[in-house]
Amino acid sequence: MNGHPLLEAREVSVRFGGLVAVDQVSAAFAPGELVGIIGPNGAGKTTFFNALSGVVEPTGGELYAGGQRLTGAKPHRYAQHGVARTFQTPRVFAELSVAANIDFGLQFAGRHRTASWLLKDEASILNLIGLQAQADLPAAAITPSQQRLLEIGMALATRPKLLLLDEVAAGLTESEVDAMAQLIRRLRDELDLTVIWIEHAVTTLLRYVERVIVLHQGRKIADGTPAEVVRNAEVIEAYLGDEMVEPA
């Protein structure tokens, strides 16, 4: 590593007309970190993600990957720097088989990109996410939780260094959420990934991540360990009327 964070936001702002969705947020993500981003509805979480992955161009501030300026670059340039992401609504090709969806991810990144042997081909990726039995089914025929896994598989197929997960636990049962969180930790460990995970289910996230960034009305109000963050007065205040966590 060249001493630079894998991805860094420096005072990033995103405005839509008069609305400031993200307000001068700075955050740096080191290799191998598992970071959660939480905040009440409308806090700017997904917009910040969109900026981190090149989907939305910041109206202020700078983005760097491995020390190289990426502000304003298109999503494929972020992908070349090893940034992959999922979306709140899984974006899978419904009529294609599960294996063909993974193949699409492999083609998108170019199979020449060096990667862990665990991401060698469709079969190894399907094995990693536990969908080998569904390989030949059309993506439309698998369950919503399996579609979320498939989308993670498609992101992994681009051989990323950094995985951005946008509400991958939404709509899942408690046991599915737990299994998903355990898978995410295992992927981080086995693939040496950096993972940044947005989730509305705060309690789940705090149980599994090592660091939490809290956004409120577009601003970063906290950045620390889960234990520190749940004791932060400003965070508790922001969550009044929303579902705040019991301090462990």
- For residue range 120-152, what is the model confidence (pLDDT) as tens digits? 889 999 999 999 999 999 999 999 889 999 999
| Residue 66, pLDDT score | 87
Hey, which bits of 116-210 come out as E strands? 162-166, 194-198
Q: Residues 122-131: contacts with CB within 8 Å, 24+ apart?
A: 122/157, 123/99, 125/153, 125/156, 125/157, 126/98, 126/99, 126/102, 126/153, 128/153, 128/156, 128/187, 128/190, 129/153, 129/156, 129/183, 130/183, 131/98
Residue 222's DSSP bridge partners are 214
Residue pLDDT, tens place only, 43-86: 899 999 999 989 999 999 999 998 899 998 888 888 888 898 88
pLDDT band at 223 (very low <50, low <70, confident <90, very high): very high
Look at residue 245 and tell me whether its pLDDT is greater than 80: no
Sheet strands side by side (includes 219-224): 83-85, 162-166, 194-198, 34-38, 211-216, 219-224
Give 113's DSSP letter.
Answer: S
Topology annotation, domain 1-82+161-248: Rossmann fold (3.40.50)
CA distances for 222 relative to 57, 197, 202, 211, 216, angstroms: 24, 16, 14, 10, 9
Residue 195: pLDDT band with limits 50, 70, 90: very high
Q: Given this model, what pLDDT does residue 169 score?
A: 87
Element (H, E) at 237: helix 233-238
Residue 247 has pLDDT above 50, yes or no: no
User: Above 80 in pLDDT, residue 108?
Assistant: no
- Residue ranges of the chain that CATH labels 3.40.50.300: 1-82+161-248
pLDDT beyond 60 at 153: yes
Instruction: Please tell me the pTM assigned to this model.
Output: 0.89
